[in-house]
Every structure is written in C-alpha cells, then in structure tokens.
Structure 1
Amino acid sequence: MFRGILVGAALALMGVGPAFAQEEEIVVTATRYREAYENFSVPHVSLVRRADFAVQQITIGSDTREAAQRTAELRQALQSLTRYADRNARISVALIEEDSDESGQARVVAFNVDKAMESLRGGPRPDTSYVTITVRTRVAAGDDRDAVRERFTQFVTNIPRPGRVEVSFGEMQLTLNDPQQYRPSLIAAIAGDASQISNALGNGYGARLEGLENPIAWRRAGDLDLRLFIPYRMVILPREAG
C-alpha cells in the first residue's frame, strides 16, 4: 500500500511545473540557462532527444563613418537578408528573447527588422555599429554538426552586404519545441523505475520520490542531441507497519 501511494503521487505530479505555450521554441543551450542549472546532477532516469533546431547567432556590422549612413546600411542589410531567407528552404531568420528573471530561459521569436534594429549597438572601434540576429535550421535525423555548420556557412557567405557591411559568426546553439511536453514520459519512467526497485527489494519496502515539482532540465548528449531530466531524488524506505 505504501509503495502504491507514493508511485501514484508521482504520477499525479505530471502536470506540475511552469506553463509553456504550445510549440514554444526554447534555446536549451543558452548560456544563462546553463549557469542557472549547472549544479544539477543528472539522475538515473533521463530521456535523450534530438534537438528540433540549431540556431546560429550572426553579427551584422558596418564601419561607414557617418552614423546615419551606417544605420541605413544595417537596415538595408536586414531587409535584404529577410528576402534572401524567404527564398531558402532550409534556413530561416529569427530573434532570441531572454527572460529577465533568474530562470535564464531564452526563446526563439519571429524576426522583424524594426525589432532587430532595437538591438543596434556601437562596435568595438569608433564609427562602427552592429546588430545581432539569429538564423536557424531544422535538425534532421541524419544530420551531424558539420552538415549543420555547412548550411549556416553557405547561407551567411551569400548574405547581401550593402555598403561597408560585414557579417561574422557567433555561437551555435540548440532549441527544443515546448520542452515541458516531455514531463509525462519522464515522470512515468521515473515512477516505473521506483516501482521496479521497490518490488525487487520485497514487500517490506517502498520508494519515496522527491523533487518531481522541478522543471525539466537538460544537458547536451552529443553535438545535436540533448539529455532531458527532472532533478529528482529517490528514497527507499521500509513499509510502515499496520
């Protein structure tokens, strides 16, 4: 009875956790997220999942001397980039939006030239300006890191560069659509593991699962794969008498 109650309680927690919009695309390798959850230990039960997309940050800059002309060139470059991406079947343009709280979560949002221009910054040298945007490509089952990087390289190489515009690469990251959709599968697997262990120990023992209210966390399990897990703890206890 003790075991059945505790495993049943674990299954009841399947819906617990922060709400995410359906198909919300989360940057699961974002730096702030890694820093927020780097101390989490990967438990015994986890799920390996291929990333849905790879995203590549690119910086578009200009060193035209006159500030207004620099800004005009960057806007023109973004507009040309949008048209160029519309003709590309495998690469799209997006923006990354980060939460301001401690979660470190970042999500992919639709690209808009005006929104992108809001990130206009001065460059490392006088008379330089730049904007940072994101390009993305869906990760296929047969892809490896080199194939994905080659798609990005070919795309960026052919981006129109008006005036004195230059383009450079940033970090490649991975995204998942609605990571919280994997909570039911993970919790069912955790409950199954707890049941198997307590059954193996005999009728005198049960398992208590702690931490199932935690959100899903993840680690890279390869260049394009992710290991999803819930930071939980299993405690084996003797069954109460009576």
Structure 2
Amino acid sequence: MKPGFFLAAALLGTAAVPAVAQEANAPGLGEVVVTSNRLNARYAQQDRPVVGLRRQADSAVLQLAIASDSRDEATRKREIHTIMLAALDRAAAAGVELVTGSFELVPVTKANYQDLPLASAGRVDTSQANLMVKVKLAGSVTAAEQRLDAFIKAVPRTGRGTIDKTGALALTIVNPDQYRDAIVTLVADNARHYAAMFGPDYAVQVSGVDGQVFWSQVSGTDVFLYVPYRYTIVPK
C-alpha cells in the first residue's frame, strides 16, 4: 500500500485497472490505501499476472465523519474540533491512529487537525470533517473492525457533534516499491522454471520488470504486489 493503505479498503468490486506505485527511481511512497489509487482500481481485479508477491496488508482503516448540525457556524467548527481532539487524545492508548488522504496516508495530529477542510454534510447548517482511523492488521479483519468500532464509540461527543464511520473497512500497505526486488526474483524463478521444461536449447526473454509496482486486494487480509512483466520462451 500506492493505497497504501486509505489497505480501501471500498473492499468490494469487479475487475478494474490496478493500483500503481511510483517509478523505481522515484522516492518511495509512504502508506497507501490498497483500493484507492490514481486509476480508481477496485477489489479483486482479474487481469493481474500470475506471478507476484502475496502478503498480509499492514493495516486496516475505516472512514470517519465528524459532524455537527449546530445552527451557528463557529459552534459547529468548535464542536467538530473538540471531538477530533478527544479522538487524538485517546488514539495512542487505543492502539489506533487518525489519518487522512485519498491515496497516500498522512497522520492527523494536534499540529494539523485544524487544517482539515470542513465540508457540507447535506444541509446549509451542517458541517463535517472526513478522515480515517487506522489500526495495525495483526489478526483477522473482524478483530480489526471491532477494535476500530470500539474506539469510535468511546470518543465523547460534544454538543450537537457526532462521530460515525461512513465506509467499509479498507486495507493499507506501506511503501509498495520496497518489494520490487522480491517480485522480480519470483518472476525470474518462474521464467527459468518454464524455460527448463523445453530443454537446454531454449531460453527466456523477459520484459516489463522495470515497470511500476502494482497491487490489488486478493482476500480479506492479503494484497498481491506485481510488476507488468511478460516473458517468451524462445530457441537459443
């Protein structure tokens, strides 16, 4: 997880274009949401290659809306920020983290929480801040979601302010480009294996291993990282 990752995730869908990492010689990505990407990839995309690296996602995230429908705008803003601060105060002890971002995740902290935009929540006198809460994926997705739900319910409300989840659980992955060498090694091993079946008079030509790292979700907890390789077995 590009996700990361918000790993978003947001989890259900059909075949689509995969998520993509930066080029190999560019700075590595941080944590990305698995199902959020520059090309709007979705879960269970079907056209990925056979060979790649399957691994458990790093974290799970839930989308949140912290909102207020107090009539006065200044009051709405104050109530939203008070709830956000209460969430930040409890996050570390609960083993979670508040984050923002539609692709690469950025931590929400006491230094930047007031920079989050407040959007309309459907009425002129209702405002909300959209963010996510993240937890390390150490076990099942169900356990992760229960932990996130418990955290959300424990955050105290202020005035007419509310905090609610607004989406399905998503997965994240940290810096997908770090797995490039492992992915290419798997491709090379696979290519050699099949070339050997044709005997010593055949070799393999490989292309695409210098392409971008892609990823997609393949189960409730796992992601599949790959490069757009192609190989051809040819006579020497």
User: Please, what TM-score do these two structures have when normalized by structure 2?
Assistant: 0.82
Match of 1:17 among 9, 24, 44: 24
Determine the C-alpha separation between the residues in 2 that align with 1:82 and 1:36: 30
The 1:176/1:200 distance shift into structure 2, 3 A limit, reads same
Q: Give the unaligned 5+ runs of structure 2.
A: 1-22
The 1:56/1:162 distance shift into structure 2, 3 A limit, reads same
Equivalence for 1:11: none
Amino acid at match of 1:168: D
Q: Give the unaligned 5+ runs of structure 1.
A: 1-15, 99-105
Asked if the contact 2:35/2:170 (under 8 Å) is kept, the reply is yes
Asked if the contact 1:41/1:231 (under 8 Å) is kept, the reply is no
> What aligned pairs does 1:83-232 form with structure 2 within 5 A after superposition?
83-88=89-94, 90-96=95-101, 98=102, 106-113=103-110, 115-117=112-114, 118-140=116-138, 143-171=139-167, 172-232=169-229
Larger Rg: 1
Equivalence for 1:58: 64
* CA shift digits 1:82-121 (9 cap, x unpaired): 1121332x2122222x5xxxxxxx1121213564443211
Asked if the contact 1:62/1:130 (under 8 Å) is kept, the reply is yes
Match of 1:69 among 61, 68, 75: 75
CA displacement at 1:39 relative to structure 2: 7.2
Asked if the contact 2:208/2:230 (under 8 Å) is kept, the reply is yes
Secondary structure of residue in 1 paired with 2:98: strand
Is 45-54 or 107-116 further displaced after alignment? 107-116
Determine the C-alpha separation between the residues in 2 that align with 1:206 and 1:36: 36
* CA shift digits 1:35-84 (9 cap, x unpaired): 39997722121211001111111000000001111111111111111112
Asked if the contact 1:61/1:131 (under 8 Å) is kept, the reply is yes
Structure ranking higher in helix proportion: 1
Secondary structure of residue in 1 paired with 2:104: strand
Determine the C-alpha separation between the residues in 2 that align with 1:60 and 1:165: 7
Q: Number of residues paired by the alignment?
A: 212
Determine the C-alpha separation between the residues in 2 that align with 1:134 and 1:212: 34
Determine the C-alpha separation between the residues in 2 that align with 1:222 and 1:27: 15
Secondary structure of residue in 2 paired with 1:119: coil
RMSD between aligned residues: 2.2
Secondary structure of residue in 2 paired with 1:30: coil
Identity %: 27
Amino acid at match of 1:94: V
Determine the C-alpha separation between the residues in 2 that align with 1:168 and 1:33: 28
Determine the C-alpha separation between the residues in 2 that align with 1:52 and 1:64: 38
Determine the C-alpha separation between the residues in 1 that align with 2:39 and 2:223: 14
Equivalence for 2:4: none
